[in-house]
Amino acid sequence: MHPVDLIAASIPIDDPDRPVMPGDIESGICAVTGQLCSTIQRDLLLGKSFTDGSLLAAPGSDRVGLNAYLALKYKWERMSSWICDGKTFSRLDRQGVRSAVFSKSPELPWCSYATTSYKKHGSLRTPINSGGQRIWLFESRLVDCTDFQKMMEIWDRLNIELRRGFGRSILESADCPVYLIQKIGMREWIDFERWATPIKNSSLYAFMCYLLPSQEELKNEKNRQDS
Protein backbone atom coordinates (compact mmCIF):
# COMPACT_ATOMS: atom_id res chain seq x y z
CA MET A 1 0.00 0.00 0.00
CA HIS A 2 1.12 3.54 -0.80
CA PRO A 3 -0.23 6.90 0.48
CA VAL A 4 -1.71 7.58 -2.95
CA ASP A 5 -3.91 4.51 -2.47
CA LEU A 6 -5.33 5.90 0.77
CA ILE A 7 -5.98 9.31 -0.74
CA ALA A 8 -7.56 7.96 -3.93
CA ALA A 9 -9.89 5.76 -1.88
CA SER A 10 -10.97 8.70 0.28
CA ILE A 11 -11.97 11.18 -2.47
CA PRO A 12 -15.78 11.13 -2.76
CA ILE A 13 -17.22 10.48 -6.20
CA ASP A 14 -19.23 13.70 -5.96
CA ASP A 15 -16.27 15.84 -4.87
CA PRO A 16 -16.11 18.70 -7.42
CA ASP A 17 -12.32 18.62 -7.17
CA ARG A 18 -12.08 14.91 -7.95
CA PRO A 19 -9.84 14.53 -11.02
CA VAL A 20 -11.33 13.17 -14.23
CA MET A 21 -9.43 10.17 -15.52
CA PRO A 22 -7.91 10.74 -18.99
CA GLY A 23 -6.30 8.44 -21.53
CA ASP A 24 -6.54 4.76 -22.33
CA ILE A 25 -6.43 2.44 -19.33
CA GLU A 26 -4.36 -0.74 -19.46
CA SER A 27 -2.46 -2.99 -17.08
CA GLY A 28 1.10 -1.91 -16.25
CA ILE A 29 3.62 -1.02 -13.58
CA CYS A 30 2.87 2.24 -11.78
CA ALA A 31 5.93 4.48 -11.72
CA VAL A 32 4.80 5.99 -8.41
CA THR A 33 4.03 2.85 -6.41
CA GLY A 34 5.78 0.08 -8.33
CA GLN A 35 2.53 -1.92 -8.28
CA LEU A 36 1.04 -3.89 -11.17
CA CYS A 37 -2.36 -2.26 -11.65
CA SER A 38 -4.61 -0.40 -14.06
CA THR A 39 -2.57 2.48 -15.48
CA ILE A 40 -2.51 5.38 -17.90
CA GLN A 41 0.36 7.05 -19.72
CA ARG A 42 2.89 8.51 -17.31
CA ASP A 43 3.17 11.84 -19.12
CA LEU A 44 -0.51 12.53 -18.42
CA LEU A 45 0.52 12.97 -14.77
CA LEU A 46 4.27 13.53 -14.61
CA GLY A 47 5.48 16.07 -17.14
CA LYS A 48 8.93 17.42 -17.91
CA SER A 49 8.69 19.80 -14.96
CA PHE A 50 8.49 16.90 -12.50
CA THR A 51 11.78 16.79 -10.60
CA ASP A 52 11.07 14.24 -7.85
CA GLY A 53 12.07 11.14 -9.77
CA SER A 54 14.03 9.81 -6.80
CA LEU A 55 10.72 9.39 -4.93
CA LEU A 56 9.25 7.03 -7.52
CA ALA A 57 9.16 3.31 -6.82
CA ALA A 58 9.58 2.42 -10.51
CA PRO A 59 11.13 5.48 -12.20
CA GLY A 60 11.73 3.56 -15.43
CA SER A 61 8.05 2.88 -16.04
CA ASP A 62 6.14 4.95 -18.58
CA ARG A 63 2.82 4.22 -16.82
CA VAL A 64 1.12 5.55 -13.67
CA GLY A 65 -1.65 3.86 -11.72
CA LEU A 66 -5.15 5.27 -11.48
CA ASN A 67 -4.75 5.82 -7.73
CA ALA A 68 -1.54 7.76 -8.27
CA TYR A 69 -3.26 9.92 -10.86
CA LEU A 70 -6.26 10.62 -8.63
CA ALA A 71 -4.14 11.43 -5.58
CA LEU A 72 -1.50 13.58 -7.23
CA LYS A 73 -4.00 15.47 -9.38
CA TYR A 74 -6.25 16.10 -6.38
CA LYS A 75 -5.27 19.68 -5.63
CA TRP A 76 -5.69 19.44 -1.85
CA GLU A 77 -3.02 16.73 -1.65
CA ARG A 78 -0.51 19.49 -2.39
CA MET A 79 -2.44 22.65 -1.54
CA SER A 80 -3.31 21.88 2.09
CA SER A 81 -2.21 20.16 5.25
CA TRP A 82 -4.13 16.92 5.69
CA ILE A 83 -4.61 13.58 7.37
CA CYS A 84 -6.05 10.56 5.54
CA ASP A 85 -6.99 7.02 6.57
CA GLY A 86 -8.42 5.72 3.30
CA LYS A 87 -11.96 6.56 4.40
CA THR A 88 -11.66 10.30 4.94
CA PHE A 89 -9.30 12.94 3.60
CA SER A 90 -9.39 15.83 6.10
CA ARG A 91 -7.93 19.20 5.17
CA LEU A 92 -6.33 20.92 8.15
CA ASP A 93 -5.27 24.41 9.17
CA ARG A 94 -2.57 24.86 11.80
CA GLN A 95 -5.04 24.36 14.64
CA GLY A 96 -6.38 21.27 12.90
CA VAL A 97 -2.89 19.82 12.60
CA ARG A 98 -2.30 20.54 16.28
CA SER A 99 -5.53 18.81 17.23
CA ALA A 100 -4.71 15.76 15.12
CA VAL A 101 -1.17 15.48 16.48
CA PHE A 102 -2.33 15.48 20.09
CA SER A 103 -5.42 13.32 19.54
CA LYS A 104 -5.78 9.56 19.26
CA SER A 105 -4.51 8.28 15.94
CA PRO A 106 -6.90 6.74 13.38
CA GLU A 107 -7.44 3.02 13.85
CA LEU A 108 -6.97 2.35 10.13
CA PRO A 109 -3.61 2.80 8.38
CA TRP A 110 -3.12 6.54 7.89
CA CYS A 111 -0.78 9.18 6.56
CA SER A 112 -0.45 12.90 7.17
CA TYR A 113 1.19 16.06 5.87
CA ALA A 114 1.66 19.52 7.39
CA THR A 115 2.78 22.34 5.12
CA THR A 116 2.99 26.10 4.87
CA SER A 117 4.55 26.18 1.40
CA TYR A 118 1.90 24.22 -0.57
CA LYS A 119 4.52 23.27 -3.17
CA LYS A 120 5.34 19.62 -2.55
CA HIS A 121 3.41 16.40 -3.05
CA GLY A 122 2.99 15.16 0.50
CA SER A 123 1.85 11.70 -0.59
CA LEU A 124 5.21 11.07 -2.29
CA ARG A 125 7.10 11.71 0.94
CA THR A 126 5.01 10.65 3.90
CA PRO A 127 4.88 7.07 5.21
CA ILE A 128 1.79 5.07 6.10
CA ASN A 129 1.33 4.70 9.86
CA SER A 130 -0.04 1.64 11.60
CA GLY A 131 0.43 -0.29 14.83
CA GLY A 132 0.96 2.74 17.04
CA GLN A 133 3.46 4.49 14.76
CA ARG A 134 2.86 8.25 14.52
CA ILE A 135 5.03 9.84 11.84
CA TRP A 136 4.05 13.15 10.26
CA LEU A 137 5.56 14.80 7.22
CA PHE A 138 6.29 18.45 8.01
CA GLU A 139 7.27 20.22 4.80
CA SER A 140 10.02 17.82 3.61
CA ARG A 141 10.99 16.52 7.07
CA LEU A 142 9.69 13.37 8.71
CA VAL A 143 8.66 13.91 12.33
CA ASP A 144 8.37 10.91 14.63
CA CYS A 145 5.66 11.66 17.20
CA THR A 146 5.40 8.04 18.38
CA ASP A 147 7.01 8.77 21.76
CA PHE A 148 4.14 10.83 23.15
CA GLN A 149 5.89 11.61 26.44
CA LYS A 150 8.97 12.96 24.66
CA MET A 151 6.79 15.06 22.37
CA MET A 152 4.80 16.48 25.29
CA GLU A 153 7.96 17.40 27.21
CA ILE A 154 9.07 19.59 24.31
CA TRP A 155 5.56 20.95 23.74
CA ASP A 156 5.01 21.89 27.38
CA ARG A 157 8.37 23.62 27.73
CA LEU A 158 7.91 25.63 24.52
CA ASN A 159 4.48 26.77 25.69
CA ILE A 160 5.92 27.96 28.99
CA GLU A 161 8.59 29.98 27.20
CA LEU A 162 6.12 31.35 24.66
CA ARG A 163 3.93 32.72 27.43
CA ARG A 164 7.00 34.03 29.21
CA GLY A 165 7.50 36.34 26.24
CA PHE A 166 9.92 34.56 23.92
CA GLY A 167 8.25 34.56 20.48
CA ARG A 168 7.98 31.68 18.03
CA SER A 169 10.93 32.75 15.86
CA ILE A 170 13.15 33.09 18.94
CA LEU A 171 12.15 29.65 20.17
CA GLU A 172 12.75 28.16 16.72
CA SER A 173 16.30 29.50 16.54
CA ALA A 174 17.11 29.54 20.28
CA ASP A 175 18.62 32.95 19.58
CA CYS A 176 17.30 35.99 21.41
CA PRO A 177 18.11 39.73 21.18
CA VAL A 178 19.80 41.19 24.23
CA TYR A 179 17.04 43.71 24.97
CA LEU A 180 14.45 40.94 25.32
CA ILE A 181 16.74 38.85 27.51
CA GLN A 182 17.17 41.87 29.77
CA LYS A 183 13.41 42.40 29.84
CA ILE A 184 12.43 38.81 30.61
CA GLY A 185 15.46 37.69 32.57
CA MET A 186 18.98 36.42 31.94
CA ARG A 187 18.53 33.40 34.19
CA GLU A 188 15.35 32.37 32.36
CA TRP A 189 17.04 32.65 28.97
CA ILE A 190 20.19 30.77 29.96
CA ASP A 191 18.09 27.96 31.40
CA PHE A 192 16.02 27.70 28.21
CA GLU A 193 19.02 27.96 25.88
CA ARG A 194 20.80 25.17 27.77
CA TRP A 195 17.72 22.97 27.38
CA ALA A 196 17.01 23.82 23.73
CA THR A 197 20.49 23.76 22.20
CA PRO A 198 20.85 19.94 21.95
CA ILE A 199 17.44 19.50 20.29
CA LYS A 200 16.74 22.73 18.38
CA ASN A 201 17.78 21.25 15.01
CA SER A 202 15.56 18.18 15.32
CA SER A 203 12.44 17.80 13.19
CA LEU A 204 10.32 17.18 16.29
CA TYR A 205 11.44 20.45 17.88
CA ALA A 206 10.72 22.37 14.64
CA PHE A 207 7.28 20.76 14.36
CA MET A 208 6.36 21.64 17.94
CA CYS A 209 7.41 25.25 17.29
CA TYR A 210 5.18 25.33 14.21
CA LEU A 211 2.22 24.09 16.26
CA LEU A 212 2.55 26.77 18.95
CA PRO A 213 -0.46 29.08 19.40
CA SER A 214 -0.54 32.25 17.35
CA GLN A 215 -0.52 35.70 18.93
CA GLU A 216 -4.25 35.92 18.28
CA GLU A 217 -4.83 32.64 20.10
CA LEU A 218 -2.71 33.84 23.02
CA LYS A 219 -4.69 37.08 23.14
CA ASN A 220 -7.98 35.19 23.19
CA GLU A 221 -6.61 32.90 25.88
CA LYS A 222 -5.68 35.89 28.04
CA ASN A 223 -9.08 37.49 27.52
CA ARG A 224 -10.78 34.30 28.69
CA GLN A 225 -8.60 34.19 31.78
CA ASP A 226 -9.31 37.84 32.57
CA SER A 227 -13.08 37.52 32.12
Q: Which residues contact 69 (CB under 8 A, 6 or more apart)?
A: 19, 21, 40, 44, 45
Three-state secondary structure readout of 71-97: HHHCHHHHCCEEEECCCCEEEECHHHH
The pLDDT confidence band at residue 201, using thresholds 50, 70 and 90, is very high
pLDDT at 51 over 90: no
Average pLDDT over residues 87-113: 96
**The pLDDT of residue 6 is above 80:** yes
Does residue 222 register a pLDDT over 90?
Answer: no
Q: How confident is the model at residue 219 (pLDDT cuts 50, 70, 90)?
A: confident
> Angle, nearest 10°, between helix axes 186-196 and 148-164?
150
* Phi/psi at 155 (5° precision): -60, -45
At 33 the pLDDT is: 97
- The pLDDT of residue 220 is 82
pLDDT at 207: 98
224 pLDDT exceeds 90? no
Q: What pLDDT, in 10s, does the model give residues 107-160?
A: 999 999 999 998 899 999 999 999 999 999 999 999 999 999 999 999 999 999
Q: What does the alpha-carbon distance between residue 134 and residue 14 come to, in Å, rounded to a whole number?
A: 31
Give the rounded percent of residues in the chain with a pLDDT score beyond 70. 99
Predicted model pTM: 0.91
Q: Per-residue confidence at 191, pLDDT binned at 50, 70, 90?
A: very high
Backbone angles phi, psi at 91, to 5 degrees: -75, 140
What are the pLDDT digits (tens) for 7-40?
A: 999 999 999 999 999 878 999 999 999 999 999 9
What is the rounded average pLDDT of the residues 38-55? 90
- 8 A C-beta contact, residue 82 and residue 90: yes
Q: Distance between terminal CA atoms of the chain? A: 51
AA identity, residue 3: P
Residue 50 clears pLDDT 90, i.e. is over it: no
Contact 170, 141 (CB under 8 A): no
- From residue 168, give the alpha-carbon distance in Å to each of 10, 126, 163, 199, 225: 35, 26, 10, 16, 22
From the CB of residue 89, how many other CB atoms can be counted at a distance below 10 Å?
22
pLDDT at 226 over 90: no
